[in-house]
Structure 1
Amino acid sequence: MFSFYDKDGDARISELEYDEWLKQRRKLSTQGNKASAQERIRLPSRVTDRTDLLSGRNEPTKPAQPTAQSTPSDFNLPIGKPSQENAQRRGLRLGDEKCVFPALGADEKIVIYSTYEGVKPTSVNLGDETWVVDITVEPGKEPLYVILPSYDPMVWRFSGAIERVAKVVPTAMARGNNSGVGMGGSGVIGIEGSKVSFLENSQCLSYFNGVVEEAKMRGRVSAFLGRQPDFKASAYHTEKVTIPSMAVVEGNGAPPWTSDAPSVEDIEPSTVVAAVEVKRYGLLPGGYGIKQLLERWLPG
């Protein structure tokens, strides 16, 4: 079954192969002819005899040989680093030359957490509406390679056993000039700058939340680093997360004009490790900016 998906025989499912599988699946789902479907899909057999769907004959078959079992949403396979000549089939694409990840140590565990937005706005501006998310690192012996893709820019504030953190790669899809190219995105507090790396292309890793998006993310991480994440989690909005147990507190995402809305976190720009200049907002973005103007100009 797996060999049907793995067209190039490289022991992994690339995005191209996965997309092709989806096209075939949708095409077959619209056809009512089971015999035609049997011709197009090689179904795995666990018996020594099967019935030929076209002729109705019993046809002896060889016992199925043990093979790696996988589906497009579950890429748990040993994956080597992509060869240059086969990069596209292995999940790499145009623009990935700007996705320079730091080298992964043999003993480092890959931790990846993704969120669309935070719930606590910040006083600092990283090029778009910026939030702060608290990350607590649990004690342990294994060093952690932490990847943090988001949609909005984040200030990822680390605390706890931060000595475990070997590397941090924060990246955000929303960037100030809307080009998606150039250094930018999120920043980090609590980790020394030498351990933090930034990606020049906003599409190197996208925000993910769901089975299909997660599967694509895992394929991308494998293509860049040679193996899949050891720990992963995601949420649409996030207040804090604990790693590597991946315990998530999504928090209260109440609108800024309500009494339950989180207050703006005042952050000193000099404490943030970022690829761009960290500035304070003059006027907060979005609904918080409207609230700020109302409080400034309207009595009471």
Structure 2
Amino acid sequence: MAADADKDGRITWIEASNSVPKTLTDRASEGSSKSVREILAFAGREQEGLSPIEFEELFVQAFRSADADHNGTISQEEVITLRRRYEERRLAAFEERRRRQKEEARAGCELPKASERAKVMVLSAYRSDSLSTTTLGSQDVEVGSGFITIEDGSEPLYVVVTSAQPVIWRFSGALDRLERVVLASARNAPNSSDRNAKPLVGATGLPADKVTFLPRPDCLAYFYEEPSVDASETLAIVRRETGKDAISAARYEVSGFTVFSAGIRMSEPADRKTMIVKSAGSLEVVGDALVVVPGSSDGLASMVAHYFPGGVIEIDPASVVASVTPTRYDVLPSEAGLLQLVQSGALAWNRNGEFLIKRKIRFPAELGGAHSARFLLLRGVPEPDGGAWQSCVISEDTGQPLRGSRC
């Protein structure tokens, strides 16, 4: 009805005719704009642009380039060939832009060069199997701990360690062999990553002047399988920037690594038993299994052992060299923190597997996914500090979920 100029509910021939030129002009303008963009891409001059003379010359060049038999006309086959070449150039330009973007993204992420005698080692994992009593920068993230043992040898070592989970690595052994330790991690927020914040990673047993912390979580990708795309990209970066090929080792979850002159040994986490969470009825268990009955501290302790088979590692914040300030947890993350709160009397665990909040608490970090829980905030008890994240918290006073919880 935009063509109905006099708004009488009818479109006359004149009104229809008057509406056509604008429509054609818009379409022609849109088509011209697309053609100009294609010519700029064809010339590889999207950023610099073209002068009118260069633009005309380019059309002549394009015509001659398409006129494969030089007969002064362009056939349909020659047009198809030209379009194919244009598409190849467009893809090449795209890959070049992607390469430049990746290089720009690595600005500030450069690794120090290794000395001529140094042997370069890359250790990578998704997570460690232990939980640290010290956190890095925030009470709302889960920080693990793993060991790295350096065995005796003659060559200096350049060790790169990367992980998904924030980890405090405990170094021991022949530490005088270490020329440089580069530490990186991907997660620096509750189960997520903020590119504008520092990676969360630390070490004990090392002087600060031997440790390099990469400035962003996307500087160096972790990997837990070889061969893989992530492994090849990370090892290529290490090779290019240190000037050395690296010996590497990776696993999804580790207790730690032992570095020796000929290679790297990985320590696997302790075997997990089957865990069955049960709230009522009877169950016959066949074989070696771990049965967790909600309502007991023993059940929570079993869950802590399941999720952190390496245990909870006591780490003094003052002993940690880290990318951000290390501090002791007020409440440990996930099930370990729930166990703490139950043992202190701040929480009670009923037979339905729900937690009753009896006094002011701080929620343990990262109560999401398999670690999510249900809470009832008893009457008169102040709302907890921290975030429930993906857990459900119901107020006994109102019968409604607390703001920010997921029920």
TM range (shorter): 0.5 to 0.7
Q: CA deviation at 1:94?
A: 3.2
Query: After superposition, where does 1:7-86 map in structure 2 within 5 Å?
Result: none
Give the match's secondary structure for 1:242. strand
Number of corresponding residues = 214
Q: Aligned-pair distance for 1:98?
A: 2.3
- Rate the CA distance shift 1:289–1:145 in 2: closer, same or farther, 3 A: same
Amino acid at match of 1:154: V
Could you say which residue in structure 1 is the equivalent of 2:152? 139
Conserved 8 A contact 2:124-2:250 = yes
Aligned to 2:243: 226
State the shift of 1:118 in Å.
0.9
**Structure 1 residue 198 corresponds to structure 2 residue 198:** no
Question: CA 1:110/1:125 → structure 2, altered by over 3 Å: closer, same or farther?
Answer: same
State how far apart, in whole Å, the 2-side matches of 1:131 and 1:87 are. Answer: 38
Aligned with 1:267 (options 315, 321, 340): 315
The share of aligned pairs that are identical, in percent, is: 28
Matching residue within 263, 266, 273 for 1:248 = 266
2:253 aligns to what? Answer: 237
- Once residues 269 and 291 of structure 1 are traced to their aligned partners in structure 2, the CA distance between those partners, rounded to angstroms, is 22
**Alignment match, 1:295:** 343
User: Is residue 113 from structure 1 mapped to residue 123 from structure 2 by the alignment?
Assistant: yes
Work out the CA distance in 2 between the residues paired with 1:206 and 1:251.
Answer: 22
Larger Rg: 2
| Cα distance in structure 2, aligned partners of 1:90 and 1:227 | 23
Quick one: structure 1 residues 160 and 291, their matched pair in 2 at CA, closer, same or farther if it must change by over 3 Å?
same
CA deviation vs aligned residue, 1:24-67 (integer Å, no higher than 9, x gap): xxxxxxxxxxxxxxxxxxxxxxxxxxxxxxxxxxxxxxxxxxxx
1:112-166 CA-partner distances (Å, limit 9, x unpaired): 1011111110111114311111111011111000000000111111111111011
Q: Report the residue type matching 2:126 in the other structure.
A: Y
Contact 1:170 1:185 in 2 (8 A): no
- Residues 55-92 of structure 1 show CA distances to partners (whole Å, capped at 9, x for unaligned) of xxxxxxxxxxxxxxxxxxxxxxxxxxxxxxx9965994
Does structure 2 retain, via aligned residues, the 8 Å contact 1:130–1:154? yes
Whichever residue aligns with residue 239 of structure 1, its letter is S
Aligned 8 A contact 2:125 2:250 in 1: yes
One-letter identity of the residue aligned with 2:325:
E
Amino acid of the structure 2 residue aligned with 1:258: S
- Do the aligned residues in 2 keep the contact of 1:96 with 1:201 (CA within 8 Å)? no
| One-letter amino acid of the counterpart of residue 104, structure 2 | L
Measured in 2, the distance between the counterparts of 1:99 and 1:228 equals 19
Shift of 1:106: 1.3
C-alpha displacement at 1:176, in angstroms? Answer: 3.5
Is 1:258 the counterpart of 2:258 in the alignment? no
> 1:169 corresponds to which residue?
182
Question: Which protein, 1 or 2, shows the higher relative CO under an 8 Å CA cutoff with sep ≥ 6?
Answer: 1
More helix by share: 2
* Structure 1 counterpart of 2:104: 94
C-alpha contact (below 8 Å) 1:169/1:198 kept by paired residues: yes
Does 2:170 align with 1:154? no
| Contact 1:181/1:200, CA 8 A, preserved across alignment | no
Which position in structure 2 is the counterpart of 1:282? 330
Q: Tell me how far apart the structure 1 counterparts of residues 251 and 189 of structure 2 sit (CA, whole Å).
A: 23
Displaced runs of 4 or more, over 6 A: none
Q: Distance in 1 between matches of 2:209 and 2:195?
A: 24
Q: 2:197 aligns with which of 182, 185, 197?
A: 182
List runs of 5+ in structure 1 lacking aligned partners: 1-85
Offset of residue 270 of structure 1: 0.7
Q: Distance in 1 between matches of 2:236 and 2:97?
A: 12
1:193-230 Cα distance to aligned partner (Å, 9 max, x none): 1000111111111110222222222222223323331x
Q: Verify the 8 A CA contact 1:114 1:234 in the aligned structure 2.
A: yes
Answer yes or no: is the 8 Å Cα contact 1:91–1:219 preserved in 2: no
Q: In the superposition, relative to structure 1, how do residues 94 and 288 fare at CA in structure 2: closer, same or farther (>3 Å)?
A: farther
Change (3 A) 1:160 1:209: same
Question: Are 2:129 and 2:311, in contact at CA under 8 Å, matched by a contact in 1?
Answer: no
